[in-house]
Structure 1
Amino acid sequence: MMLLSTRGLSKHFDGLQAVQDVDFDLPIGQVRALIGPNGAGKTTLVGMICGRIEPSEGRVFFDEVDITALPAHKRIMLGMAYTFQITSVFSRLPAAENVALAARRRLHGDKVDTAVKEALDQVGLLERMDQEAGDLSYGHQRLLEIAMGLVQKPRLLILDEPTQGLADSEITDFKNLIRELAGDTTILLIEHNMNVVMETADQVTVLNFGEVLAEGTPDEIHANAAVQAAYLGTG
């Protein structure tokens, strides 16, 4: 069963076609990587899926319900969580309070504290829970944002460049986290780090010039001549 689908999804800005006629299907429980060169339309496509960008044409379906007209906050209530390519934490608040703000969308009372500690522990930040978010390193702010997504127990977790700014050890921990979540949470991963893609994704969708160039397993994508020419820099 598909959790997320798009049909004919397109977006143009002043004549520039950023995304063109994208049909996309994401089954429940799958980890899907979305890759492509800079300017391929990945962020625009995800923005339309999340409700932050209005499509020029096409439809978005979540759990087989047409949500094209729903604003972003209502999509969150349906079970979408989206972490940004640029961190969006509240820098003057402690890490724990950042996560608590997200948790209170679905929880109350003591359950919030328990969920916050669990989410921070999942991303390796439990020991930094009282530290102001603005004092965290950039990589730790990215992990904090992931914790803010996880604490909502989303049905669909969308991660936009989550490993950007992470140290090698943190990337290893992130890959382990994705493996831990796989199956229970449907994940859409926008990622440039091909090692992360190859080691965590069940399926990969490649965008190029706003269109779907290829879809398949990581091995199939790595061996695809068109993908090699357009993105992987070989062939």
Structure 2
Amino acid sequence: MMLMSTRGLTRQFAGLHAVEDVDFDLPQGQVRALIGPNGAGKTTFVGMLCGRIAPTSGTVVFDGQDISRLAAHKRINLGMAYTFQITSVFANLSVAENVALAARRRRHGGAVQDAVVRALQQVGLQDRLAQNAGDLSYGHQRLLEIAMGLAQHPRLLILDEPTQGLTDSEIAAFKALVRGLADTTTILLIEHNMSVVMETADVITVLNSGRVLAEGSPQAIHADPAVQRAYLGTGG
């Protein structure tokens, strides 16, 4: 089953095409990585998927419904969760309160507390429930934001540069987390760390200059000469 699709998705800024005519299909249950050089259009593309940026033209379909003009908060209600490239936690609230706020978007009553505990256990922050979010390290704030996404029990979890600022051991734990979620949650991962991409993604989509340059398995993408030249830096 196709959970999310785009057709002809385009966004122009002052006449420049940040994203141009992108057709994209994300099946339910897949871990998809979105990669590309800086300026490739990844953030703009994901912004259109989650409703933070309106497309100039084209369509976004989620679970069979055209959501191209649907507000971002209504997309959350459909089962989408998005973590930002820049942390967006509430610094003056505790770790648990941050996750509870996110959980209440999709849950009620006692289910909220259960979701908080489970999400913090999944990211390894269960011992920091009462700590102010603003006192966490940058890497731990990234993990808190992932927990906020997980607490919503999303059908689609979009993770934007989730390993930025994480230690090697935290990155290893993140890889295990993604593999563990794969059975229940569709994941779209925007990531520069190629070991994370190669070890967690089922399929990789490569953007370059606002267009899809290549798409395929990690092995196929790693061996693609066009991708090597544009992004991996190993081509002639």
- The TM-score with structure 2 as length reference comes to 0.99
The residue that corresponds to 2:156 in the other structure is 156
Give me the whole-angstrom Cα distance separating, in 1, the residues matched to 2:66 and 2:83: 23
The residue that corresponds to 2:186 in the other structure is 186
1:36 aligns with 2:36: yes
Q: After TM superposition, list the pairs within 5 Å mapping 1:122-133 onto structure 2.
A: 122-133=122-133
* Alpha-carbon offset, residue 106 of structure 1: 2.1
The residue that corresponds to 1:25 in the other structure is 25
Q: Give the fraction of aligned pairs with identical amino acids, expressed as a percent.
A: 75
Structure 1, unpaired ranges of 5+: none
1:77 aligns with 2:102: no
Q: After TM superposition, list the pairs within 5 Å mapping 1:47-196 onto structure 2.
A: 47-196=47-196
* Alpha-carbon offset, residue 232 of structure 1: 0.2
Cα displacement string for residues 128-152 of structure 1 (whole angstroms, at most 9, x for unaligned residues): 1110000000000000000000000
* Alpha-carbon offset, residue 112 of structure 1: 1.4
* Alpha-carbon offset, residue 15 of structure 1: 1.1
* Alpha-carbon offset, residue 109 of structure 1: 2.3
Structure 2, unpaired ranges of 5+: none
* Alpha-carbon offset, residue 153 of structure 1: 0.4
* Alpha-carbon offset, residue 16 of structure 1: 1.2
Q: Secondary structure at the match of 1:54?
A: coil
Give me the whole-angstrom Cα distance separating, in 2, the residues matched to 1:61 and 1:115: 28
Letter in 2 for 1:25: D
Give me the whole-angstrom Cα distance separating, in 2, the residues matched to 1:217 and 1:57: 29
Cα displacement string for residues 9-58 of structure 1 (whole angstroms, at most 9, x for unaligned residues): 00010011100000000000000000000000000000000010000010
Cα displacement string for residues 108-136 of structure 1 (whole angstroms, at most 9, x for unaligned residues): 22221111011000000000111000000
Give me the whole-angstrom Cα distance separating, in 2, the residues matched to 1:199 and 1:109: 37
